[in-house]
Amino acid sequence: MELVLFDLDNTLLDGDSDYEWAQFLIEQGVLERASYEQRNQDFFDQYKAGTLDIYAFLDFQLAPLAQYPRTQLDAWHAGFMAEKIRPMIKEASRRLVSESLRDGHLCAIVTATNSFVTAPIAREFGVKHLVATEPEEIQGKFTGKVTGLPCFREGKITRVEQWLSAQGRSWKDFPKSRFYSDSHNDLPLLERVTHPIAVRPDPSLRQTALARGWEVIALD
């Protein structure tokens, strides 16, 4: 059995679910375009540049979850899946995941995007295990805060190790481990696995992958 880890945004998805969730809420009139759209773009640009303050971003991204009941949020998310997410899922991505599951590997989606946004996407891919940033929830209601360590940069390693430990496993149980990602922000976890794989990599990751002889794929 291998350990197979997948980044989500711009890796399995041909787009960014975090960014598109905020855009979807703007388009639905839930969030005010004037105050949210530019901030959403600014945070996205910071992520790509490697300068993102993850806690400042989470304060921005999780706040709307605290303002509405879960039933309403789930209804919006169903529309989000139909309008934004499913069109971003290419057949090559579905095939990659299904082949890893078919071969009996332990698979997980590992993403900085919060689990409210990403859990239905993981189910869409048929992946049981999701390691994501967790929004705080008290008595069934989101607080707008994060709980635990964000699943971002070095935090992805910590969160993966916590997930493995909860199953009575560790890295040493797997002779081969793979991680698929597009982003230089994921270098810590890419360096931790035995087989890092760059998927449509950003320029910084592409340079690193080519210099180190890592596999580079497109999933197109």
Q: Directed axis angle between helix 17-27 and helix 70-80, to 10°?
A: 110
Domain count for the chain, please give it: 1
Active-site residue (options: 7, 16, 18, 186): 7
Residue 106 pLDDT: 97
**Helices and strands counted in the chain (H then E):** 9, 7
Decide if 202 is catalytic: no
Q: What is the pLDDT along the chain (220 residues), one digit of tens a residue?
A: 999 999 999 999 999 999 999 999 999 999 999 888 899 999 999 998 999 999 999 999 999 999 999 999 999 999 999 999 999 999 999 999 999 999 999 999 999 999 999 999 999 999 999 999 999 999 989 999 999 999 999 999 999 999 999 999 999 999 999 999 999 999 999 999 999 999 999 999 999 999 999 999 998 8
Interval 55-72: pLDDT, tens: 999 999 999 999 999 999
Decide if 9 is catalytic: yes
Residue 217 pLDDT: 96
Q: How far apart are the first and last CA of the chain?
A: 27
Q: Which domain holds residue 110?
A: 3-217
The structure's pTM equals 0.95
- Cβ contact 15:9 at 8 Å: yes
Residue 36 pLDDT: 87
